[in-house]
Structure 1
Amino acid sequence: MAGLYYEEFELGQQFDHPWTRTVTEMDNVLFSTLTMNVQPLHIDAHFAAGTEFKKPLVNSLFTLGLVIGMSVNDTTLRTTVANLGMSETSFPAPVFAGDTIHVRTTVLSKRESKSRPHAGIVEFEHVGLNQDDKVICICKRAAFMHKRPQES
Protein backbone atom coordinates (compact mmCIF):
# COMPACT_ATOMS: atom_id res chain seq x y z
CA MET A 1 0.00 0.00 0.00
CA ALA A 2 1.34 3.43 -0.88
CA GLY A 3 0.69 6.80 0.68
CA LEU A 4 -0.77 9.75 -1.15
CA TYR A 5 1.05 12.18 -3.40
CA TYR A 6 0.99 15.91 -2.73
CA GLU A 7 -1.86 16.49 -5.22
CA GLU A 8 -4.06 13.91 -3.50
CA PHE A 9 -4.26 15.76 -0.19
CA GLU A 10 -7.10 18.24 0.38
CA LEU A 11 -7.45 20.88 3.09
CA GLY A 12 -9.54 19.53 5.94
CA GLN A 13 -9.19 15.94 4.76
CA GLN A 14 -9.42 13.54 7.70
CA PHE A 15 -8.05 10.06 8.19
CA ASP A 16 -9.27 7.78 10.96
CA HIS A 17 -6.41 5.33 10.81
CA PRO A 18 -7.55 1.71 11.21
CA TRP A 19 -4.44 0.63 13.12
CA THR A 20 -4.55 0.30 16.88
CA ARG A 21 -1.65 -0.56 19.15
CA THR A 22 -1.55 -1.63 22.77
CA VAL A 23 1.49 -0.18 24.49
CA THR A 24 3.48 -2.63 26.61
CA GLU A 25 5.83 -2.23 29.54
CA MET A 26 8.60 -3.59 27.32
CA ASP A 27 7.95 -0.85 24.72
CA ASN A 28 8.41 1.79 27.40
CA VAL A 29 11.48 0.32 29.10
CA LEU A 30 13.21 -0.56 25.83
CA PHE A 31 12.56 2.84 24.22
CA SER A 32 13.60 4.71 27.38
CA THR A 33 16.82 2.75 27.82
CA LEU A 34 17.74 2.78 24.11
CA THR A 35 17.44 6.57 24.12
CA MET A 36 19.33 6.79 27.44
CA ASN A 37 16.37 8.39 29.21
CA VAL A 38 16.88 7.06 32.73
CA GLN A 39 14.01 9.06 34.22
CA PRO A 40 12.73 6.68 36.94
CA LEU A 41 9.16 7.79 36.24
CA HIS A 42 9.43 5.67 33.05
CA ILE A 43 11.52 2.68 34.13
CA ASP A 44 11.19 2.23 37.91
CA ALA A 45 7.84 0.86 39.14
CA HIS A 46 8.79 1.37 42.81
CA PHE A 47 9.66 5.02 42.21
CA ALA A 48 6.55 5.61 40.09
CA ALA A 49 4.33 4.08 42.79
CA GLY A 50 5.24 7.08 44.97
CA THR A 51 4.08 9.61 42.36
CA GLU A 52 0.62 10.95 41.59
CA PHE A 53 0.39 8.41 38.74
CA LYS A 54 1.10 5.37 40.97
CA LYS A 55 2.70 3.52 38.02
CA PRO A 56 5.27 4.20 35.31
CA LEU A 57 4.35 6.70 32.61
CA VAL A 58 5.06 5.76 29.01
CA ASN A 59 7.86 7.91 27.60
CA SER A 60 6.22 10.80 25.72
CA LEU A 61 8.69 10.55 22.83
CA PHE A 62 7.63 6.93 22.31
CA THR A 63 4.01 8.11 22.32
CA LEU A 64 4.78 10.80 19.73
CA GLY A 65 6.64 8.35 17.50
CA LEU A 66 3.83 5.83 17.76
CA VAL A 67 1.14 8.40 16.92
CA ILE A 68 3.01 9.66 13.85
CA GLY A 69 4.02 6.15 12.82
CA MET A 70 0.43 4.93 12.91
CA SER A 71 -0.49 7.61 10.35
CA VAL A 72 2.15 6.67 7.76
CA ASN A 73 0.35 3.82 5.99
CA ASP A 74 -2.59 6.01 4.96
CA THR A 75 -0.71 9.22 4.25
CA THR A 76 3.02 9.22 3.51
CA LEU A 77 4.19 5.64 2.89
CA ARG A 78 6.68 5.81 -0.01
CA THR A 79 5.46 9.28 -1.03
CA THR A 80 7.33 11.45 1.46
CA VAL A 81 10.68 13.05 0.78
CA ALA A 82 11.31 13.89 4.44
CA ASN A 83 9.79 15.23 7.63
CA LEU A 84 10.45 18.94 7.95
CA GLY A 85 9.46 19.30 11.58
CA MET A 86 6.93 18.92 14.33
CA SER A 87 5.36 21.77 16.24
CA GLU A 88 2.74 22.46 18.87
CA THR A 89 3.15 19.01 20.36
CA SER A 90 1.31 18.34 23.59
CA PHE A 91 0.42 15.39 25.78
CA PRO A 92 -2.93 16.22 27.44
CA ALA A 93 -3.24 12.86 29.23
CA PRO A 94 -0.72 10.24 30.31
CA VAL A 95 -0.17 6.90 28.59
CA PHE A 96 0.40 3.73 30.62
CA ALA A 97 1.34 0.18 29.68
CA GLY A 98 -1.87 -1.54 28.63
CA ASP A 99 -3.38 1.51 26.92
CA THR A 100 -4.50 0.95 23.33
CA ILE A 101 -3.83 3.87 21.01
CA HIS A 102 -5.57 4.93 17.80
CA VAL A 103 -4.95 7.99 15.65
CA ARG A 104 -6.83 10.60 13.62
CA THR A 105 -5.05 12.87 11.13
CA THR A 106 -6.27 16.11 9.52
CA VAL A 107 -4.65 17.97 6.63
CA LEU A 108 -4.19 21.56 7.86
CA SER A 109 -2.41 23.15 4.90
CA LYS A 110 -0.43 22.46 1.75
CA ARG A 111 1.80 24.49 -0.52
CA GLU A 112 4.06 23.82 -3.44
CA SER A 113 7.79 23.83 -2.85
CA LYS A 114 9.64 26.92 -4.08
CA SER A 115 12.94 25.05 -4.39
CA ARG A 116 11.77 21.70 -5.78
CA PRO A 117 9.09 21.71 -8.49
CA HIS A 118 8.41 17.99 -8.00
CA ALA A 119 7.41 18.30 -4.35
CA GLY A 120 5.15 20.14 -1.94
CA ILE A 121 4.71 20.65 1.79
CA VAL A 122 1.71 19.23 3.62
CA GLU A 123 0.98 20.12 7.25
CA PHE A 124 -0.81 17.44 9.24
CA GLU A 125 -2.36 17.45 12.68
CA HIS A 126 -2.08 14.05 14.34
CA VAL A 127 -4.29 13.31 17.32
CA GLY A 128 -3.60 10.18 19.38
CA LEU A 129 -6.38 8.78 21.53
CA ASN A 130 -6.52 5.97 24.05
CA GLN A 131 -9.08 3.18 24.34
CA ASP A 132 -11.49 5.58 26.09
CA ASP A 133 -11.13 8.16 23.27
CA LYS A 134 -9.20 10.44 25.61
CA VAL A 135 -6.68 12.61 23.73
CA ILE A 136 -3.15 11.59 24.74
CA CYS A 137 -1.09 13.40 22.09
CA ILE A 138 -1.53 16.23 19.58
CA CYS A 139 1.14 17.18 17.07
CA LYS A 140 1.40 19.31 13.96
CA ARG A 141 3.85 17.89 11.42
CA ALA A 142 5.17 19.32 8.18
CA ALA A 143 6.01 16.70 5.56
CA PHE A 144 7.87 17.27 2.32
CA MET A 145 5.82 15.22 -0.17
CA HIS A 146 6.52 13.95 -3.67
CA LYS A 147 4.19 15.08 -6.42
CA ARG A 148 2.71 12.40 -8.65
CA PRO A 149 5.35 11.28 -11.18
CA GLN A 150 4.79 12.69 -14.66
CA GLU A 151 4.08 10.04 -17.27
CA SER A 152 6.37 10.14 -20.27
Structure 2
Amino acid sequence: MTEQSALLLRKQLAELNKNPVEGFSAGLIDDDDIYKWEVVIIGPQDTLFEGGFFKAYLTFPYDYPLRPPKMKFITELWHPNVAKNGDVCISILHEPGEDKFGYEKPEERWLPIHTVETIMISVISMLADPNSDSPANVDAAKEWREDPIGEFKRKVARCVRKSQEMAFD
Protein backbone atom coordinates (compact mmCIF):
# COMPACT_ATOMS: atom_id res chain seq x y z
CA MET A 1 0.00 0.00 0.00
CA THR A 2 2.86 2.40 0.76
CA GLU A 3 3.86 2.65 -2.90
CA GLN A 4 0.34 3.70 -3.93
CA SER A 5 0.01 6.25 -1.14
CA ALA A 6 3.45 7.71 -1.92
CA LEU A 7 2.54 8.03 -5.60
CA LEU A 8 -0.75 9.70 -4.77
CA LEU A 9 0.94 12.16 -2.40
CA ARG A 10 3.63 12.99 -4.98
CA LYS A 11 0.89 13.63 -7.53
CA GLN A 12 -1.03 15.92 -5.15
CA LEU A 13 2.14 17.84 -4.27
CA ALA A 14 3.05 18.31 -7.93
CA GLU A 15 -0.49 19.49 -8.66
CA LEU A 16 -0.40 22.04 -5.82
CA ASN A 17 2.99 23.33 -6.97
CA LYS A 18 1.72 23.68 -10.52
CA ASN A 19 -1.66 25.18 -9.62
CA PRO A 20 -1.36 26.82 -6.20
CA VAL A 21 -4.61 27.25 -4.30
CA GLU A 22 -5.30 30.62 -2.75
CA GLY A 23 -4.92 30.77 0.99
CA PHE A 24 -2.16 28.23 1.63
CA SER A 25 1.10 26.80 0.42
CA ALA A 26 2.41 23.26 0.87
CA GLY A 27 5.73 21.47 0.65
CA LEU A 28 7.69 18.64 2.22
CA ILE A 29 9.46 19.06 5.56
CA ASP A 30 12.20 16.78 4.25
CA ASP A 31 12.53 16.00 0.54
CA ASP A 32 13.11 12.32 1.32
CA ASP A 33 9.83 11.83 3.19
CA ILE A 34 6.62 12.19 1.16
CA TYR A 35 4.53 11.42 4.29
CA LYS A 36 5.43 14.60 6.20
CA TRP A 37 4.29 17.94 4.79
CA GLU A 38 4.61 21.49 5.97
CA VAL A 39 1.75 23.83 5.10
CA VAL A 40 1.36 27.54 5.69
CA ILE A 41 -2.14 28.94 5.92
CA ILE A 42 -2.62 32.61 5.27
CA GLY A 43 -5.24 34.01 7.66
CA PRO A 44 -8.45 34.45 5.62
CA GLN A 45 -9.53 37.99 4.73
CA ASP A 46 -12.25 39.62 6.83
CA THR A 47 -11.64 37.24 9.73
CA LEU A 48 -9.79 37.81 13.01
CA PHE A 49 -6.97 35.68 11.56
CA GLU A 50 -6.37 37.98 8.58
CA GLY A 51 -2.70 38.75 8.02
CA GLY A 52 -1.44 35.71 9.90
CA PHE A 53 0.91 33.03 8.55
CA PHE A 54 0.09 29.81 10.35
CA LYS A 55 2.48 26.93 9.88
CA ALA A 56 1.28 23.36 10.37
CA TYR A 57 2.51 19.83 9.75
CA LEU A 58 0.47 17.20 7.94
CA THR A 59 1.51 13.63 8.71
CA PHE A 60 0.05 11.02 6.39
CA PRO A 61 -0.50 7.36 7.33
CA TYR A 62 1.03 4.72 5.04
CA ASP A 63 -2.47 3.57 4.09
CA TYR A 64 -3.51 7.05 2.89
CA PRO A 65 -6.07 7.77 1.42
CA LEU A 66 -7.96 5.06 3.34
CA ARG A 67 -7.18 6.95 6.53
CA PRO A 68 -6.77 10.69 7.12
CA PRO A 69 -3.56 12.55 7.88
CA LYS A 70 -2.99 14.20 11.26
CA MET A 71 -2.63 17.97 11.24
CA LYS A 72 -0.83 19.98 13.90
CA PHE A 73 -0.21 23.73 13.99
CA ILE A 74 3.37 24.66 14.84
CA THR A 75 2.48 28.33 15.02
CA GLU A 76 0.44 29.15 18.13
CA LEU A 77 -3.22 29.43 17.20
CA TRP A 78 -6.06 30.39 19.56
CA HIS A 79 -9.11 28.71 18.11
CA PRO A 80 -11.98 26.49 19.39
CA ASN A 81 -11.10 23.68 16.95
CA VAL A 82 -7.35 23.66 17.57
CA ALA A 83 -6.13 21.97 20.74
CA LYS A 84 -3.61 23.84 22.88
CA ASN A 85 -0.87 21.50 21.60
CA GLY A 86 -1.74 22.49 18.00
CA ASP A 87 -3.74 19.40 16.99
CA VAL A 88 -6.49 20.27 14.51
CA CYS A 89 -9.88 18.82 15.31
CA ILE A 90 -12.30 18.91 12.37
CA SER A 91 -14.67 16.31 11.00
CA ILE A 92 -12.92 15.55 7.75
CA LEU A 93 -9.73 14.59 9.61
CA HIS A 94 -11.60 12.08 11.79
CA GLU A 95 -11.32 8.37 11.03
CA PRO A 96 -13.97 7.18 8.56
CA GLY A 97 -17.21 5.57 9.70
CA GLU A 98 -19.66 6.15 12.52
CA ASP A 99 -19.00 8.72 15.23
CA LYS A 100 -19.38 6.89 18.54
CA PHE A 101 -20.54 10.18 20.14
CA GLY A 102 -23.15 10.77 17.45
CA TYR A 103 -22.02 14.33 16.63
CA GLU A 104 -20.92 13.74 13.06
CA LYS A 105 -22.51 12.01 10.11
CA PRO A 106 -20.25 9.47 8.34
CA GLU A 107 -20.18 11.67 5.22
CA GLU A 108 -18.74 14.58 7.25
CA ARG A 109 -15.80 12.44 8.33
CA TRP A 110 -12.77 11.30 6.35
CA LEU A 111 -13.42 9.90 2.88
CA PRO A 112 -10.71 8.60 0.52
CA ILE A 113 -11.77 11.18 -2.09
CA HIS A 114 -10.37 13.98 0.09
CA THR A 115 -7.08 15.54 -0.95
CA VAL A 116 -4.65 17.95 0.67
CA GLU A 117 -6.55 20.68 -1.16
CA THR A 118 -9.96 19.74 0.27
CA ILE A 119 -8.42 19.40 3.76
CA MET A 120 -6.84 22.84 3.54
CA ILE A 121 -10.02 24.44 2.25
CA SER A 122 -11.89 22.94 5.22
CA VAL A 123 -9.27 24.22 7.66
CA ILE A 124 -9.39 27.72 6.13
CA SER A 125 -13.17 27.76 6.43
CA MET A 126 -12.83 26.51 10.03
CA LEU A 127 -10.69 29.57 10.79
CA ALA A 128 -13.36 31.84 9.35
CA ASP A 129 -16.21 30.03 11.06
CA PRO A 130 -15.29 28.11 14.25
CA ASN A 131 -17.47 25.24 15.42
CA SER A 132 -17.84 25.64 19.18
CA ASP A 133 -20.16 22.63 19.60
CA SER A 134 -17.40 20.04 19.97
CA PRO A 135 -14.34 22.14 20.79
CA ALA A 136 -10.74 20.94 21.03
CA ASN A 137 -9.90 24.06 23.05
CA VAL A 138 -12.70 24.58 25.57
CA ASP A 139 -11.37 27.95 26.79
CA ALA A 140 -11.18 29.38 23.28
CA ALA A 141 -14.69 28.07 22.53
CA LYS A 142 -16.06 29.70 25.68
CA GLU A 143 -14.46 33.06 24.78
CA TRP A 144 -15.64 32.75 21.18
CA ARG A 145 -19.21 32.27 22.42
CA GLU A 146 -19.19 34.79 25.28
CA ASP A 147 -16.74 37.50 24.23
CA PRO A 148 -15.80 37.14 20.55
CA ILE A 149 -14.68 40.74 20.09
CA GLY A 150 -13.04 41.07 23.50
CA GLU A 151 -10.73 38.49 25.03
CA PHE A 152 -10.99 36.03 22.10
CA LYS A 153 -10.11 38.71 19.54
CA ARG A 154 -7.16 39.91 21.67
CA LYS A 155 -5.66 36.43 21.90
CA VAL A 156 -6.10 35.80 18.17
CA ALA A 157 -4.48 39.18 17.40
CA ARG A 158 -1.48 38.16 19.51
CA CYS A 159 -1.19 34.87 17.57
CA VAL A 160 -1.39 36.77 14.26
CA ARG A 161 1.41 39.13 15.35
CA LYS A 162 3.60 36.27 16.55
CA SER A 163 2.98 34.37 13.31
CA GLN A 164 4.11 37.38 11.28
CA GLU A 165 7.34 37.66 13.25
CA MET A 166 8.03 33.92 12.89
CA ALA A 167 7.25 33.92 9.16
CA PHE A 168 10.38 35.93 8.47
CA ASP A 169 12.77 34.13 10.80
TM-score interval, smaller chain? under 0.3
Q: Relative contact order: is structure 1 or structure 2 higher (C-alpha 8 Å, sep ≥ 6)?
A: 1
Q: Which has the higher strand share?
A: 1
* Larger radius of gyration between Structure 1 and Structure 2: 1
More helix by share: 2
